[in-house]
Amino acid sequence: MPTPLALALEAQDSVAVALALRNDGVLVPMLPSPGGAQVRVFRRDDADKYMLLLFSSDETYAAMIADEEETEERVSSTYKAAELLDFLKQNEGVLEVVWFDVAGPNAMQASPADIIGALELPHA
């Protein structure tokens, strides 16, 4: 069954994406680290800033990294709204864009500031 985020991305509905992030969470790629897993960010070869890639499911994450070494462990974590907001606020200056399900078929992007704004809106 598709997640609320997957359904929002399929509809290309930014309001529904924001609601899914606020209410259901999102899959965040992680890197194993001796001090505990850390959020995995990506960068184009010539870019100064990083991209945060978020996913609606483990399957969409696996599709994005299909070309990576199969021996590498795929680690991810589901972030709820507060965790995502905290990460974005701490790293807004080094992030240029947030991509959702970047491998498609329903990819969307937003600025970190837009995601922060959506997550900071008071609950009705």
**CATH (domain of 103):** 3.40.1350.90
What is the average pLDDT value for the chain, to the nearest integer? 91
pLDDT digits (tens, 9 = 90+) for 42-74: 998 888 999 999 999 999 998 888 776 554 677
Of all residues in the chain, what percent carry a pLDDT higher than 70?
93
pLDDT of residue 68: 66
Q: With a cut of 80, say whether residue 116 has pLDDT above it.
A: yes
**Four-residue CA torsion sign, 61, 65, 89, 92:** negative
Q: Determine the structural domain holding residue 47 and report its residue range.
A: 4-120
What predicted TM-score, i.e. pTM, was given to this entire model?
A: 0.90
How many structural domains comprise the chain?
1
Q: CA 81 to CA 25: how far, in whole Å?
A: 6
Burial class of 28 by CB neighbour count within 10 A (0 to 12, 13 to 18, 19+): buried
